[in-house]
Structure 1
Amino acid sequence: MKNIFPFGILSLMLFAACTQQAAITLENPLAEERTDEVIVFSREEIAAKITLQEGKLPVFKNGEKTIPSQVDDLDGDGAWDEVVLLVDMKASETIEATIELVAESDYPKVEKRTNLRLGIAQVDGTYKEVDKYKAIPVSEPFKIIAQGEGVTWENEKIAFRVYFDCRNVKDLFGKRKPVMVADDVHTAAIHDYHVLNDWGMDVLHCGSSLGSGGIALLRNDSLIRLGSTDVYEYQKIVEGPIRSVFDLKYSGWDVDGEEMEAVERITIYPGKYWFESDVTVYGCSENDQIVTGIVTSQLKKEPFRFDAAGFTCIGTHDVQSLNNDELGMAVIVPKTEAGKIGRTTNINWFKEGVKTVPEKNFSHVISETYYIGQKCKDAQAAKHYFFSVWGLDKDQWKTEDGFREYITAEAKKLSSPIQKL
């Protein structure tokens, strides 16, 4: 795993004669309070403020209070590339912060609020966490090799997972308390995650849908699932207290007789009921659309759609969890990039004979899904955000209005990020 350097609240006794300092200004452009807001600085931005020194890393301070932050090496070359800050800001507040260089060994830890996990089954029945791994090729017999059947990413609010096999469907865990669970599923600590535990449970039935944000390509009115590829590889980029990032890499993706490649980069932050996805497709045509969607198998009410703060949103809210309570799911994409919005048939293609994974009654033909397309530009990332909330977690999530209010507020924040001056 690449080096991560987390920082927390610390009062440092600094001597002006030997310590460099520089200043930055952070400004909240919204007339409303914001909590757990992430701000990313590139190495170049920091170098323009202060002369970097080998063996030292930047710390940001607001008065005597150290701003929680994390330094990430994204390309694996041994040098950090970005600094991620976590701030709370009052309405229209401006923060003057100083930058100080401190030795790596002097940086304290920050509370861990994001987590990644791909555990591979071992001969003794345990799971070994890996930072890079290839799934079993689709040409070989189906076999579950991963802890919890896939890659799991989480913060203290919610956890998501994607099956690490040819199904490539996204699933989710609801949480009742702010804990990390990915390391414990399928162990003695959490033996059965399909039943309600004190921390929460697996709340979603996926079937042959796209689940909670699975990926497909729309071409000539046909949906082609991003799955059953020759190569399906997981690559951890960074795992830290403030941000965790990983790539899912695919090659040998058969799209209408063409062999294509794709990379999905997923990022999760603290305090949010969503994850960020950047999907890059190599070889897409002019009219192709990248698609993500939401399972509708348990949906009884009509799904919703609306525009908010420069985003187009599709979503569902219903008594549709596996605990028979309220579950909301939604996708937002930039309005200028939004494409077709539709709903697949509810035909059970597995029963019709399209049996991709008989062991799981799974068909690669997508059904029971409400979806949204996004313009696909060859070799250029398309960004979307996937939301999910569970009624057992918070009263606000028991109503569609409460969920839509949250989506609208988050869309507004994403459209009006904290300004770096």
Structure 2
Amino acid sequence: MKHVIMLYFIAAATLFSSCAKQDSEHRLITVKNSLDLPRAFETIEISKSDIQLHTGERFEDFSIQDVATKAILTSQFVDEDQDGTADVLLFQPELNPNSEKQFELVKVDGGVEVDSTVYCYSRFVPERTDDYTWENNKVAFRTYGPVAQKMVEDSLPGGTLSSGIDAWLKKVEYSIIDNWYAKNDKDPGYYHIDHGEGLDNFHVGSSRGVGGSAVKVDTSYYISKNFTDYKTITTGPIRTSFILKYADWDANEKTISEEKHISLDYGNNFSRFEIHVDGTDELSVGLTLHDNKGEITQNVDQGWIAYWESEYFDSELGTAIVAPKGVMTASEYYVTSMKDRSNLYAQLNVDNNKVVYYAGFAWKESKQYPTKASWEKYIQEFSEKLNTPLEVSIQ
């Protein structure tokens, strides 16, 4: 028996099939929820190495079936090591409080009809300088590449020098990235105006935006420049993931090497950041304070910080950072006269050159978490589930 650790929370979509072919050997997956909370937004990973395949069997031929209802769940295969074959199968169960369910790996005759709508999507965007942008059905983000950096350094218009994380405030479930960029290309400034789907009015500048990283030395924070290279790992109905590489950068004579592995799952307001870093044993990650008029919440013991702006362009906006238990060691409400450098920071412990955290936001107009109380309730439950993952055993 093995335990597969939950990555983060997702809404599950299910399809029904009467065509599941039962193998002589049943491969049962038991998922147990030990919390007094329903678990409706959680991604389970089944590794290929967890399954004993027989001669002639292909991992990619399997689907996930609910044993009780016979429903075939939406799933996604991911080739994490990019060798041309799938390594991981993702699926999304729904469980009541203090309950468990059984699922089975099955082969389905004729295949399974799935919703082809693109929800979890990311790509490099050379037509808008060189952004990298990602989204799911709840939120969207972007950050900036080397061409945008060089334009600023060469005093050319239209560049952006920032390793901060931008928030695109969408209020529709379908993908908006390609549409917004295409229309902005024809009508510059298009996505800065809400045409019914949301808009990009979130100012990043050199701030940390929503979860950008920094290194603190003494009382000062040091930051990298733009990403230098990228690799898209997967897009699909459940997850999009990619890697951003950065040139080595200086933090008061400390050389910092940094690579960001970022993923975003369906139904989730938080991106997962796995930072591979050399040169420091502590990483700072921040939330921009904009005009410093918002309300801060620092809950280090529970591993999260939040910022709520109740006067954000005639609306309201909440941002947050959440870390697994024991990773967040301190936080700082850092205000400076330097343009865009005021941030609410979380200090995170780097273990074996790696640190994991989650960063995201909620915009009132999306009607997801329209109040500070509802946003912080979501954060609190997210943190509780993160620290009490679903127990998964495979037989």
**What TM-score range do you get, normalising by the shorter chain?**
0.7 to 0.9
Matches for 1:12-411 after TM superposition, within 5 Å: 12-14=18-20, 20-47=25-52, 53-54=57-58, 56-62=60-66, 63-101=69-107, 106-110=111-115, 111-121=117-127, 145-146=129-130, 150-165=131-146, 166=149, 167-188=162-183, 191=187, 192-227=190-225, 232-282=228-278, 284-285=279-280, 288-307=281-300, 311-321=302-312, 323-348=313-338, 367-379=341-353, 381-394=354-367, 396-397=369-370, 399-411=371-383
RMSD: 2.6
Paired residue secondary structure (2:51): helix
| 1:157 partner letter | K
2:242 & 2:283 partners in 1: Cα distance? Answer: 19
Q: Is contact 2:141-2:165 (8 Å) kept?
A: yes
1:52 & 1:33 partners in 2: Cα distance? Answer: 39
Q: Which moved more, 1:57-66 or 1:233-242?
A: 57-66
| 1:24 partner letter | I
| 1:418 partner letter | L
Distance verdict in 2 for CA 1:340–1:27, change over 3 Å: closer
- Normalising by structure 2, we get a TM-score of 0.83
Structure 2: segments with no counterpart, 5+ residues? 1-12, 150-161
Distance verdict in 2 for CA 1:55–1:211, change over 3 Å: closer
| 1:297 partner letter | H
Paired residue secondary structure (2:191): coil
1:41 & 1:174 partners in 2: Cα distance? Answer: 32
| 1:390 partner letter | W
1:169 & 1:301 partners in 2: Cα distance? Answer: 19
1:279 & 1:55 partners in 2: Cα distance? Answer: 29
Q: Is contact 1:332-1:384 (8 Å) kept?
A: yes
Query: Shift of the alpha carbon at 1:19?
Result: 6.3
2:258 & 2:141 partners in 1: Cα distance? Answer: 20
Q: Is contact 1:250-1:263 (8 Å) kept?
A: yes
Q: Is contact 2:78-2:234 (8 Å) kept?
A: yes
1:155 & 1:90 partners in 2: Cα distance? Answer: 25
1:10 & 1:52 partners in 2: Cα distance? Answer: 27
- Normalising by structure 1, we get a TM-score of 0.78
Q: Is contact 2:259-2:276 (8 Å) kept?
A: yes
Query: Shift of the alpha carbon at 1:186?
Result: 2.5
| 1:408 partner letter | Q
Q: Which moved more, 1:211-220 or 1:403-412?
A: 211-220
Q: Percent identity?
A: 22
1:5-31 per-residue CA deviation (whole Å, 9 max, x = no partner) reads: xx9625152555x76532121112222
- Deviating above 4 A after TM superposition, structure 1's stretches of 4 or more consecutive aligned residues are none
Query: Shift of the alpha carbon at 1:248?
Result: 0.6
Q: Is contact 1:8-1:108 (8 Å) kept?
A: no
1:333-384 per-residue CA deviation (whole Å, 9 max, x = no partner) reads: 23412234223333135xxxxxxxxxxxxxxxx61211111112453x2011
1:143-177 per-residue CA deviation (whole Å, 9 max, x = no partner) reads: x623xxx1111111111111224422211112222
- What's 2:157 paired with? none
1:119 & 1:109 partners in 2: Cα distance? Answer: 28
Paired residue secondary structure (2:34): coil
Q: Is contact 2:233-2:243 (8 Å) kept?
A: yes
- What's 1:356 paired with? none
Q: Is contact 1:179-1:199 (8 Å) kept?
A: no
Q: Is contact 2:318-2:363 (8 Å) kept?
A: yes
Aligned: 1:420 with 2:392: yes
Query: Shift of the alpha carbon at 1:215?
Result: 1.2
1:52 & 1:31 partners in 2: Cα distance? Answer: 43
1:72-108 per-residue CA deviation (whole Å, 9 max, x = no partner) reads: 11111112111111122222232121111458x8344
Q: Is contact 2:264-2:271 (8 Å) kept?
A: yes
Greater percentage in helix: 2
1:405 & 1:100 partners in 2: Cα distance? Answer: 38
Q: Is contact 1:25-1:96 (8 Å) kept?
A: yes
Q: Is contact 1:281-1:377 (8 Å) kept?
A: no
Q: Is contact 1:344-1:368 (8 Å) kept?
A: yes
2:349 & 2:79 partners in 1: Cα distance? Answer: 30
2:355 & 2:293 partners in 1: Cα distance? Answer: 31
Query: Shift of the alpha carbon at 1:212?
Result: 1.4
| 2:307 partner letter | T
Structure 1: segments with no counterpart, 5+ residues? 1-6, 122-143, 350-365
- What's 1:132 paired with? none
Distance verdict in 2 for CA 1:15–1:218, change over 3 Å: closer
